[in-house]
Chains A and B, each alone.
Chain A
Amino acid sequence: MEATISGMGWVSPRSHGNGKQTVHHESNPGLLPKLSRKEVLDRPYKPFGRMDRFSKLGFAALTYALEDAGSAAETDNTAIIASTVFGCLDTDLAYHTTLVPGKEACASPALFAYTLPNSFLGEACIYYGFTGETFVINEGKTSGMEGLFMAMDLLESSVSTRVVCGICDLVPPDLVDLAPETIPGALFFVLDKKGKRAGYGTVQSMEKGNGVRYREGIYNDLAALGRACKREDE
């Protein structure tokens, strides 16, 4: 399977932006930035303000990726696949603190809506008018490769003409005993069918799921692939 990387965007503790800038998603500890609607979106979207931290993080990174790809709303059957380890566990904990056993009045319906990790995919679909597949993959560590393979399969089978796929995780909450290795932040790629546009060039899946080939390298996680990405017109 092959696909063209048309755009990339990220939010990390050190930086946020898209592939036209020089600092890419990095594995650094630290606090993630609190992004306002104006820093992320170029037109008003009321729900952005009430989204949970996980949703804002993912929404911001995929928006930066779409900006990098040039034309966000080019195709309405765009799919979105997000990979995560912890998902919205941070939001679960916040909702749980609003719950006093047996007292419904304290439970927040607005917060409950974001205790599903796919909520921000729905928000992105509303904002951009995307009607393709949207789902979240929970994996043991955030390599994001399964999501990338599924994205390439959607393009290969012409189910979608564009797929946004990536990784998204907040800093793990303290209460988790054995936290798997994760990179706090989010990194999303915009993938189009091979040859559709220049962007960053072509990514090709290896046999038996053994990573992807990009330029001269083989990559087994999206963060490494992101760091290797170089625009064709650079």
Chain B
Amino acid sequence: MNQVAVVHTGAITAMGDDLEALWQGLLDRESAITTATRFATDNYISSCAALINDLVPDSKKAMVFQLADRVMEQLPPLPRDTLVLTASTKGGIDVLETARRGTETSKEQLIISSLPGYIARRLGLAHQGINISAACTSSTIALAKAAAFIASGRASSVLVCAVDIISEFVFSGFSALKAMSSTPARPFDSKRDGLTLGDGAAALVLFSEEKMKKEGIEEKALITGWGIANDATHITAPARNGCGLKRAVSHALAMAGIPPDRIGAVSTHGTGTVYNDAMELTALHSLCGSQGLAAGSVKGAIGHTLGACGGIEAALGIRMLDHQVVPGTPGFTSPETGAGSMISSRHQPFDSDHLLTTNSGFGGINGALVLQKRRR
């Protein structure tokens, strides 16, 4: 099995135009969650969101394409044989809203499969690519599949572009499901009452070892294990015993060839909903116990970026490994039972070469990646 290296990372969130801005914002305990002004929120259960301010609906280009343009600008030229995997839940769904306002718009961008092709053409890549759609695990699964392509030798270079935007379509749906908090999300807090949505995009380029040597590029981290599992319980609620997440993590750890106690830190999904966070705590305690594990969630700062969150959190996970610190979890003031031993509002140092990042989504799907610190 070929080793899988992450060689380039990029991100755009409401916290700023690159990964460094996001990392610094988290270390400085900033939050990008404010009152949403992209659309009227008067009749929804929340007005909070972490939106990228200068991202506006455009009749010629759906917002998700605009965001993809911006995150691609953070990448150097890529080998022409690079495969493209995008990860997005709703793609250019804002086109529907633009059309409803009576503005002529390109409805082709409603078709989500047009996104990877657009990126491939823009970067001058040979393959048209595909989009992976698996709710909020979309980009975790895209990274797992990209890693599998490289591990098996099917590809030597893969770009994963994870991108989702917050439209009124999505906002209204989460409001109707009563899944949003009226205040900024408080992951793992005992008083948490829902999530906050956010715009976001990430780009991660994965190379084989041979490709790294050929291109003269050094790794930022390795992806050493991945696991994906369905909990077969409910399409919009997680299994309370965390069976799907446990299975995904167990598989990822087995693939990485490390026992749970070698994991020093966890970038959790941590949405701030009552059931997701309880499920994650159950699964993590069952798998790892609580000794020496630093865990955190960034969704109280940048919101839940839906299909993009796994990509953003993997890119952040690499920063965490580099700096050996998990940024404090925003909104965490009164620990949920079992959370106090892992989660903190303070930055948590750790001493390990291995970090676990997990995500779960509608449709009962769970994904886990094991990241390994760059080799010297």
Contact = CB atoms under 8 A, between A and B. Distances in A.
Interface residues of A, number: 55
Nearest to A103: B43
A46 B178 CA distance: 22
Contact of B169 (A95, A104, A116, A157): A95
In this complex, the member of B117, B148, B177, B235 whose beta carbon has the largest number of chain A beta carbons within 10 angstroms is: B235
Contact of A118 (B99, B114, B168, B365): B365
B interface bracket (residues with beta carbon within 8 Å of A): 35 or more
A139 B130 contact: yes
Does more than half of chain B's interface fall in helix, strand or loop, or is it mixed? Answer: mixed
B364 interface: yes
Contacts of A178: 108
A44 B250 CA distance: 33
Contact of B133 (A99, A107, A108, A138): A138
A134 B176 contact: no
A47 B234 CA distance: 10
A108 B365 CA distance: 23
B251 A134 contact: no
B108 A112 contact: no
A87 B133 contact: yes
A128 B175 CA distance: 31
B287 interface: no
A124 to B, nearest CB: 9
A131 B228 CA distance: 9
Contacts of B168: 99, 101
Interface string A118-145: 1101110110111111111111100000
A85 interface: yes
A219 to B, nearest CB: 18
B90 interface: yes
12 contacts: A47-B235, A89-B110, A92-B90, A96-B100, A102-B43, A107-B176, A109-B173, A118-B363, A133-B141, A134-B134, A146-B130, A149-B154
Interface of B: 39-45, 89-90, 93, 96, 99-100, 106-108, 110-114, 116-117, 128, 130-135, 137-138, 141, 145, 148, 152, 154, 168-169, 172-178, 228-236, 243-244, 247, 251, 361-365
Q: Which 9 residue pairs of A and B lie closest in terms of their CB atoms, listed nearest first?
A: A122-B363, A112-B173, A138-B131, A135-B134, A109-B176, A138-B113, A125-B232, A133-B228, A107-B176
Given A107-B172, A122-B230, A139-B113, 20 more contacts: A99-B172, A103-B43, A104-B176, A109-B173, A109-B178, A117-B133, A125-B232, A126-B364, A128-B232, A130-B230, A132-B230, A133-B141, A138-B130, A139-B130, A139-B131, A146-B130, A153-B154, A159-B251, A176-B108, A176-B110
